[in-house]
Chain A
């Protein structure tokens, strides 16, 4: 599998539970897991399409799960999917995700939702449902936009 240029590494208090949850909620697939002699997770990677995330523990004093930080996130991961974001949301909800924003179509043409996993990581998920030009997006928002594809 080709390595993509950017990869998120997430910290969890219970990373082995996170591996199961991320598979159940988002359909991520475990592709690498290293455990030490005590059964503790040392390193892991999950794939989603051509991308992957690393799932680890709170491995240094400066790495923490939101569960250890009163729920604060300092970055979030966005998942872009090709079809049926509403169904994706229902799967995540069934797995125990707290839905912070229900699926809604945004001015830029993506239908998105936002949820929180059991340790407090916030995830956004989007599907492009309509083509929107830069002029349309500017008209809809009153913003000046650069770099619109």
Chain B
């Protein structure tokens, strides 16, 4: 026991010169440090210690209550707010108790540890280097090392090939997939619920989101139809118009968010992600924000049954740009 606690613990040597000369009270960081307390009368110190112990014990008790509270809340059906609160109380109790314990009842600060410089003795360095590159070292056969390097390099290169499996081989190749969509001549425009659209259904005050029939879930197909006044066009719509009905890709040419906010009156659409604005009267050119290219248009006609139908793919690849985009 003495080995771990070398100092005389009852302060039985008050006359020892080192006791007041030591004046270790100066070491501590703050007035609450126990070593500062060592300088004050023992009775006062004891009182403070007892008070601190009481706080610690109370905090741990509160923590236990919190834990019990959590268990109770959980067992009786659970309630998120109470669960969180009771768990927080349980942890905060432990935290507070440990914190007070550390500050009031345990020594803090005042210690120093040596920090040896970070250079090994030169002899040690030399011996290690000799071990690595000495006469027996395989590194001396440079030709063989080079051959090994070739083998490992080839293996590493070969190991990259399976990365190609990340794109399943039955999928379209990237550039082709990005350039084309299922929109094609004769594909009907349908709403989100799959019902086809007549020209009369296209609103003038808002945009109608449309999809190619049978391809609702593809990411590159969403488009919107809107009725505009052809007299106000300042540039012809790329996909043409059908008595003022124009259809554009819904995907912003900046980062692919749907440009779902229609500012009626000005006939602009706005992307909610990065605030790109497109002027539908001027062939959906970007007029503000970070988008750099116009929305691709969709050429449409009316089929024999009176429904809107595409006459081809978008006039340009929809959505954000890519390296091979002409």
- Do A and B form a real pair? no
Residues on B lying within 8 angstroms of A by beta carbon are none
Residues on A lying within 8 angstroms of B by beta carbon are none
